[in-house]
Amino acid sequence: MCLGIPGQLVEFVPDNDQLARVEVSGVRRMINIGLLEDEALEVGDWVLIHVGFAMSKIDEEEAAVALASLRLMGSGLDDEMEMLRGTAP
Amino acid sequence: MRFVDEYRDPVASRRVLATIAELAGTERHYKFMEVCGGHTHTIYRHGIEHVLPRNVELVHGPGCPVCVIPMGRIDDAIAVAETPGVIFTSFGDMMRVPGGNGTLLEAKARGADVRFVYSPLDALKVAADNPDRQVVFFAVGFETTAPSTAVTLVKARDDRVMNFSVFSNHVTIVPPIKAILDSPDLRLDGFLGPGHVSTVVGNHPYRFVARDYGKPLVTAGFEPLDILQAIAMLLAQIREGRCEIENQYTRIVRDEGNPRALQFLAEVFELRPHFEWRGLGFIAQSALKLRAEFAPWDAELRFAVPGVRVADPKACQCGEVLKGVIKPWECKVFGTACTPETPIGTCMVSSEGACAAYYNFGRLHREAAVTLGRASV
């Protein structure tokens, strides 16, 4: 919960600047990007996601490192992915 | 994995370890606290304690949001969840945390409508989909998750979702650090500052640690090399007679944090006069409650919350673990009566808890330490 999970922006939602679709480790879901309004996000950018909200913009390198860290946490990533999948709209 | 290798590079690790050994010398002992449970994981997973010089000790801090929730709040959550007509939503981590009256998972087994959600927005959606039911979200976490709850509450207000409410157990990162600095139990030489929570709050809130307590703090990332570099930065400060708040994790953490997230926090929440923390007791102004403007969405006002204080089981020493006074394996019930399958204390439940981390990774220590750079451990 306290460790962010990296996702890559795949598309914005027309008529809603708060939402975007991201891909996390092969799973797609909608997240809220409202807290990064000042970051001028673009498709292809990486973000760190906490409980369905993008909290920081990161680069591809940091995304790879963060994902590898989560993999090593074992159940940490499994739990996050399970929740992501279970609730993916 | 080309990026990752940089942070796991044994040559780079060895170089930083050599710097640490040189800076630490042999004359005195250094004790640093890693505040964040994510750091605790990296430290155990990679056997960092085994590769540090003997006079450099790491102790675990209170930065695990699941771990610090006292038993009474779990009982309160269960009481709300068992109120007829309620759908109670929670992050998965909280479902297995035992209160005095069992866990939320047990309440679900008894018939309460308790559901996992990934995000507070998912809980809001459950409310929109079930207009004839009361939907409550069990909000936990430091400033990393609190802004998400704040955004969700603003949306609930704007969309007039009146059958939704939040049982707020959000806590703030600075007061427990201050409580630990004020505690006579522990003499620390500095802190590894938390990583992701600092993306929200920034580095400025930690300035009092250096200014008022004369201790250095270095905000650190989650890779083994991040941790080692942060330790070297702490030692260099001490060696050079400096005492500052530094940022090792500049890849993500900005000094000013995330201003928009802080704005949402300020709009929706205010500080509680005091809040009970497991192990640390009551800490003034250390937790967030909904502002009066959001009273219609405050579960503590909408439901009868017993608010009874429940003492931890006698055998459980989570409190001492959370303050860094003892190591997980020094707890009397560690690995025997208390395991991740049948946890007695919170530190064994959460994947961010020190006890669960040590239970899962302790045996990997030696292997990991070898890959990190020390040939014989």
User: Smallest Cβ distance to B252: which of A52, A58, A83?
Assistant: A58
Residue B358 in contact with partner chain A when CB distance is under 8 A: no
Range B346-350 average pLDDT: 86
Q: Tens of pLDDT along B227-266?
A: 999 999 999 999 999 999 999 999 999 999 999 999 999 9
pLDDT band at B375 (very low <50, low <70, confident <90, very high): very low
B86 within domain boundaries: no
Determine the pLDDT at residue B377.
Answer: 34
Q: Tens of pLDDT along B106-154?
A: 999 999 999 999 999 999 999 999 999 999 999 999 999 999 999 999 9
Determine the pLDDT at residue B247.
Answer: 97
The CATH number that applies at residue B250 is: 3.40.50.11750
B196 within domain boundaries: yes
- What residue in A sits closest to B1 (Cα-Cα)? A64
- What residue in B sits closest to A59 (Cα-Cα)? B251
B329 within domain boundaries: yes
Q: Does residue B1 surpass a pLDDT of 50?
A: no
B98 within domain boundaries: no
* Torsion (CA) B226, B232, B236, B238 in degrees, nearest 10: 100
According to CATH, what is the number of the domain A5-79? 2.30.30.140
Q: Which residue has the tokens 């400096």?
A: B242
Nearest to B19 by CA among B338, B239, B257: B239
Residues linked to residue B113 through DSSP beta bridges, in sequence order: B87
Q: Are residues B186 and B53 in the same domain?
A: yes
Residue B354's alpha-carbon distances to B98, B145, B334, in angstroms, are 17, 20, 11
Q: pTM of the full predicted structure?
A: 0.91
Q: Which residues of B touch A84 (CB under 8 A)?
A: 118
SS3 of residue B324 by DSSP: coil
Determine the pLDDT at residue A25.
Answer: 84
- What residue in A sits closest to B121 (Cα-Cα)? A52
B335 within domain boundaries: yes
Total domain count, chain B: 2
CA–CA min distance B290, chain A (Å) = 19
Best B4, B8, B142, B153 residue to mutate vs chain A (most A CBs within 10 Å): B4
Q: Are residues B229 and B358 in the same domain?
A: no
B104 within domain boundaries: no
Tell which of B205, B232, B256 closes a domain. Answer: B256
Tens place of pLDDT for every residue, chain A, 89 residues?
A: 667 889 999 999 998 889 999 998 888 989 999 999 988 899 999 999 999 999 999 999 889 888 877 776 655 566 677 767 655 44
Q: Tens of pLDDT along B29-70?
A: 999 999 998 899 889 888 898 899 999 999 998 888 888 999
B30 within domain boundaries: yes
Contact B35, B61 (CB under 8 A): yes
B6 within domain boundaries: yes
Residue range of the domain that includes B230? 2-66+174-256
Q: Do A65 and B223 touch (CB under 8 A)?
A: yes
Q: Do A2 and B352 touch (CB under 8 A)?
A: yes
Domain spans of chain A? 5-79
- What residue in A sits closest to B223 (Cα-Cα)? A69
What string of DSSP letters covers A21-54?
A: EEEETTEEEEEE-GGGGGG---TT-EEEEETTEE
Contact A58, A46 (CB under 8 A): yes
Range B87-99 average pLDDT: 92
